[in-house]
Amino acid sequence: MYGVFVYLCNGMFYVSKKLTVAASHHLVVDYPTKCARPHGHNYEIEVFCKSEELDANGMVVDFKLIKERIVDRIDHRDLNEVLPFNPTAENLARWICEQIPHCYKVIVRETADNTATFEL
């Protein structure tokens, strides 16, 4: 007797993209710090996305979309002028995660020594 076998795979697809963004900002904090003065960073950002299913194009999310939603909006900009929140690395990481479909984690490096991570 012949039968039909259906193979089900409950796996997960993962993608990540690294971005570099040059931007300025100043922190709004309740203590004295030189970071309250305008200054800039060459931010290194890594975006992580996952999905159980691929879209019609065979992707979790198009890498071009990630670039458009992040780099095109904040590169060479004053973050205090273009974002509606105090642009700490932590807040920036959360905001980036909210902009990208299927994003579950973002790492923002202001410098080699200063890193913030947001993860759902």
Consecutive 10-residue runs of the chain (120 residues): their mean pLDDT? 54 95 96 95 97 94 96 97 97 98 97 96
Residue 5 forms part of a structural domain: no
pLDDT value, residue 63 = 96
Residue 46 forms part of a structural domain: yes
pLDDT value, residue 1 = 45
- Residues of the domain holding 71: 13-119
pLDDT value, residue 36 = 95
pLDDT value, residue 10 = 73
> Total domain count for the chain?
1
The length of the chain, given as a count of residues:
120
Spatial separation of the C-alpha atoms in residues 99 and 16, rounded to whole Å? 14
- The DSSP call for residue 117 is E
Spatial separation of the C-alpha atoms in residues 120 and 115, rounded to whole Å? 17
